[in-house]
Amino acid sequence: MALSTACVVRPAIAADVPTIFALIQALAQYEKLSHEVVGSPAALESHLFGDHPYAEALVAEVAGRGVGFALFFHNYSTFLTQPGIYLEDLFVLPEYRGQGIGKALLTYLAQLAVTRNCGRLEWSVLDWNAPAIAFYQRMGADVLPDWRTCRVTGQSLANLAAIAPATTPSS
């Protein structure tokens, strides 16, 4: 479908944090993971706009209302010896889907990756989310069947960090 002429995609600013956090909560609800949202708008603001930003975000607006977002950060490919962009989350409110807003967010991010001389743009998708998988494939993405996400969180992260290192990392 054609992009709504009223849709604007732009880099997020600090004033967008409440909207982005609300969209994160809506994404979690959609994925039936609301119980995993334990962060706060204050932490999000610090991580996006503080002294040491960890991530960036795009906001999609229709008639001045935030209806979608993409949150991303740089990673690095040793094989390509180039930076990349990792898309942590892309979400459009259900009532605004099918209007080209997700495509506009992904296209903006791809243009940003090209401008920044990134070798790739990558992300993960839940295996049950057939509509998202189909959308990403229509956009030209390969869904890699031979890669699995590894994650260490909570007590497992603390246990791993407690293993005596050869040297102590510095910040």
Residues designated as active site:
136
Q: Give first-to-last CA distance, the chain, whole Å.
A: 47
- Sort 6 into a burial class: Cβ within 10 Å, 0-12 / 13-18 / 19+: exposed
In the chain, count H helices and then E strands. Answer: 5, 5
Quickly tell me which residue has 């997700």 as its tokens. Answer: 102
Partner residues linked to 68 by β-bridges:
60, 92
